[in-house]
Amino acid sequence: MSTKRRRASSWEYVVKRKGLLSRPISLTFTDEKEGDSYVARLECLLDAGVVPAEFQENADKPATVGAGIHLYIQRVSISESDKLVLDVIYERIGKVLLSQVDYPWAEKYVKESKQIRNLSPSTIRHHVGALARMLDWLCRRGDLIANPLRLLPKGYATYTVADGAVLRALDRKSKVDQERDRRLTQAEEDAIRQAMAGHKRDDRERSLAMKDRELLVLLFDLALETAMRLREMFTLSVAQVDLSQRTIFLDKTKNGDKRQIPLSSVAIAKLQPVLERMKANERLFPWWDGVPTQESLRKTTSKLSRQFSRIFDYSKVVGLNFHDLRHEATSRFFERTSLSDLEIAKITGHRSPRMLMRYANLRGTTLAGKLW
């Protein structure tokens, strides 16, 4: 709020914002209309949680969640998915003072996500994850004492009976997790490999036409051997693959982290003949134009997803999409290796045990074989 009063030959304005301004802002104008206009613009900024630099005691110290998000995106290299989520969060809670961000606030934020916004549990976790990473950064800078989102209990995003009661009164329903657990059977894998090798189905006049057949097969193989995401694979350069060290280095992933992928003997055997024909500065796959924009990456992802849908359809494999291969590869790490959960997480890039276990859909027959 602001106040103004007339002086002998000028107008004096005092602007206050508890929790946002460390002390009131005093302004003097000779023209009342000019003063009213300036103060109105200033108050609009303050209402949005933005303190102009000339009025900040420490311009580098954010006072609101919105200012923290702005500074975080400016200073830190983060994933595009986190940027998109933080844009949404900025609109929702950008004006909240960082001094108000405590555990009761965190509980209220999650409750409103369910009872007012009716978001799905996976969306709530995505939003909380992106916001928590931003708050972690502010804690490391000393702008925040503690990150209350890290104290939320396991299953915080799951709708409770109380949530359901509130939503029923509004003629709405609780949301549940829609997690895929599609596994690839050996028969389906064999059928896909036959189709990709050029074998003709008995009920078709010709085999499946496939441009860049060898590289599409390599993409399929790498997905099952490494659990890499589609985008992580089609953006690979030859220089990122080190067969002598049996690794692929990912400089930037969906989570914004660097990751090193160990290569199995199968993956090395598939990569070697392709790499021998290529130069270090070339891209491993030909489909991406190399322009690091979201539009370019989305187009390539869509093109390859459609291509593999055609392959799966020709192979008579129903209900499978390319990302399911990442599920399958991660599950195979659990079933066929002695790697620990932490080691698998380092390979796949999953940050939380809960997210990792979402992919670890172990077959009942495999588990039964381990029983006495």
The reported pLDDT for the residue numbered 50 is: 80
Would you say 191 and 315 are in contact if contact means Cβ atoms under 8 Å apart?
Answer: yes
Give the separation between CA 318 and CA 298, rounded to whole angstroms.
24
Alpha-helical regions (H) of 98-185: 103-115, 121-141, 161-169
Domain count within the chain: 3
CA-based radius of gyration for the chain: 27
pLDDT tier at 48, thresholds 50, 70, 90: confident
| CB burial of residue 281 (10 Å; 0-12, 13-18, 19+) | exposed
Of 169, 203, 233, the one marking the end of a domain is 169
For 60-100, what is each residue's pLDDT tens digit? 678 899 989 988 988 887 877 888 899 999 999 998 999 99
* Band (1; pLDDT cuts 50, 70, 90): confident
DSSP 154-166: TTTTS--HHHHHH
Q: Is the dihedral of CA 135, 136, 139, 145 positive or negative?
A: positive
Checking if the pLDDT of 47 tops 80, the result is: yes
pLDDT of the residue at 134: 94
pLDDT tens-digit readout, 152-185: 998 899 999 999 999 999 999 998 876 677 889 9
74 and 113 part of one domain: yes
Task: Tally Cβ neighbours within 10 Å of residue 127.
Answer: 22
Is there a contact between 260 and 212 (Cβ–Cβ < 8 Å)? Answer: no
- Same domain? For 140 and 198 the reply is no
Region 2-11: mean pLDDT is: 80
Residue 228 has pLDDT above 90, yes or no: yes
Q: At what angle do helices 324-336 and 213-226 cross, to 10 degrees?
A: 50
Is the same domain home to 243 and 298?
Answer: yes
Last residue of a domain, one of 135, 169, 203: 169
SS3 234: helix
| Residue range(s) defining the domain that contains residue 43 | 2-55
Rounded to the nearest 5 degrees, what angle is found at the Cα of 192, between the Cα atoms of 191 and 193? 90
Catalytic positions, please? 229, 254, 323, 326, 350, 359
141 vs 53 pLDDT, higher one:
141
Is 42 a member of any domain?
Answer: yes
Residues of the chain above pLDDT 70, percent? 90
Name the strands in the sheet holding 2-6, side by side, starting at the edge strand that comes first in the sequence.
Answer: 2-6, 11-15, 25-29
Residues 86 and 151 in one domain: yes
| Residues 131 and 246 both lie in one domain | no
If asked whether residues 113 and 254 sit together in one domain, one would say no
Q: Do both 220 and 348 map to the same domain? A: yes
In a domain? residue 175: no
Q: Are strands 2-6 and 247-250 parallel, antiparallel or unpaired?
A: unpaired
Residue 245 has pLDDT above 90, yes or no: yes
Lowest average pLDDT, out of 36-40, 167-171, 362-366, goes to: 362-366
- For residue 91, give both structure tokens: 């609109």
pLDDT of residue 21: 78
Count CB atoms within 10 A of the CB of residue 5. 9
Q: What is the pLDDT of residue 369?
A: 61
CATH at 341: 1.10.443.10
H or E element in which residue 242 lies:
strand 241-242
Q: Does residue 48 fall inside a structural domain?
A: yes
Per-residue pLDDT at 336: 85
**Domain end marker among 134, 169, 204:** 169
Mean pLDDT of 201-228: 94
Mean pLDDT of 295-322: 93
Residue 363 has a pLDDT of 45
- Whether residues 161 and 303 fall in one domain: no
Q: Specify the higher pLDDT residue, 254 or 360.
A: 254
Cα atoms in the 13 Å half-sphere on the side-chain side of 12:
8
Q: What percent of the chain has pLDDT over 90?
A: 55
Tell whether 180 is covered by a domain.
Answer: no
Residues 49 and 71 in one domain: no
Instruction: Please give the residue that has the higher pLDDT: either 368 or 152.
Output: 152
179 inside domain: no
Q: How is residue 244 written in tokens?
A: 């002598």
If you average pLDDT over every residue of the chain, what do you get?
87
Where is pLDDT greater, at 338 or 282?
282
What is the structure's pLDDT at 54? 67
Residue 361 has pLDDT above 60, yes or no: no
Identify the pLDDT of residue 288: 95
In whole angstroms, give the CA distance from residue 363 to residue 372.
17
DSSP assignment, residue 283?
B
Q: Are residues 34 and 83 in the same domain?
A: no
pLDDT at site 219: 97
Q: Is residue 346 domain-resident?
A: yes
39 and 76, same domain (yes or no): no
Does the residue 30 lie in any domain? yes
Check which CATH number belongs to the domain holding 106 and give it. Answer: 1.10.150
Report the range out of 274-283, 348-357, 360-369 with the highest average pLDDT.
Answer: 274-283
- Report helix, strand or coil for 174: coil
Q: What is the mean pLDDT of residues 312-317?
A: 95
pLDDT of 312 higher than 90: yes
Tell me whether residue 327 is in a domain. Answer: yes
Same domain for 49 and 72, yes or no, is no
Residue 359's pLDDT is 53
**Model confidence at 358: pLDDT above 70:** no
